[in-house]
């Protein structure tokens, strides 16, 4: 394995029509991604129901995430993070349409 690196804020396309997901690191049991949202959200009625846990931090921008069973959605800004256990249904209600929202997501084998 060799040393690798980069910049989380490089090659951002604020006018991208689709969310951009870039894998930064993949090891047994862990995957790290940079996700850039430019106004995207989960499709109407769609809930993520993943077989892996996810820790996500919002680096830049704003978003709203709903977690099944919670009374109110969570509003996220720069620096806010969530740990979402495997099989926890959740959805992205909205991301800032006026500026890029940059997430760092760490996916972990179910714990």
Q: What is the CATH number of the domain that holds 86?
A: 2.60.120.10
Q: What is the mean pLDDT of residues 45-55?
A: 96
Q: Which of 74, 82, 75 is nearest to 104 (CA)?
A: 82
Assess whether pLDDT exceeds 90 at residue 43.
yes
Question: What band does 110 get if pLDDT is binned at 50, 70 and 90?
Answer: confident
CA distances from residue 48 to 26, 34, 42, 51, 101 in whole angstroms, order as listed: 21, 18, 9, 10, 19
Q: How many CB atoms lie within 10 A of CB 91?
A: 18
**Rounded CA separation 86/20 (Å):** 23
Whether 36 shows a pLDDT value over 70: the answer reads yes
Is 6 a domain residue? no
Is 49 a domain residue?
A: yes
pLDDT at 111: 62
Domain count, the chain: 1
The answer to whether residue 100 sits within a structural domain is: yes
What mean pLDDT, rounded, does the chain reach? 94
* Total-model pTM: 0.91
Is residue 15 in some structural domain? no
Q: What is the mean pLDDT of residues 22-50?
A: 96
């Amino acid at each position: 394995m060799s040393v690798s690196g980069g910049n989380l804020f490089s090659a951002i396309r604020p006018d991208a029509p689709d969310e951009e997901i870039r894998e930064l690191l993949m090891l047994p049991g862990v995957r790290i991604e940079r996700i850039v949202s430019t106004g995207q959200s989960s499709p109407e009625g769609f809930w993520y129901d993943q077989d892996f846990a996810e820790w996500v931090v919002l680096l830049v921008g704003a978003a709203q995430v709903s977690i099944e069973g919670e009374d109110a959605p969570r509003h996220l800004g720069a620096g806010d993070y969530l740990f979402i256990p495997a099989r926890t249904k959740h959805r992205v209600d909205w991301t800032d349409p006026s500026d890029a929202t940059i997430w760092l997501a760490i996916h972990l084998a179910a714990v």
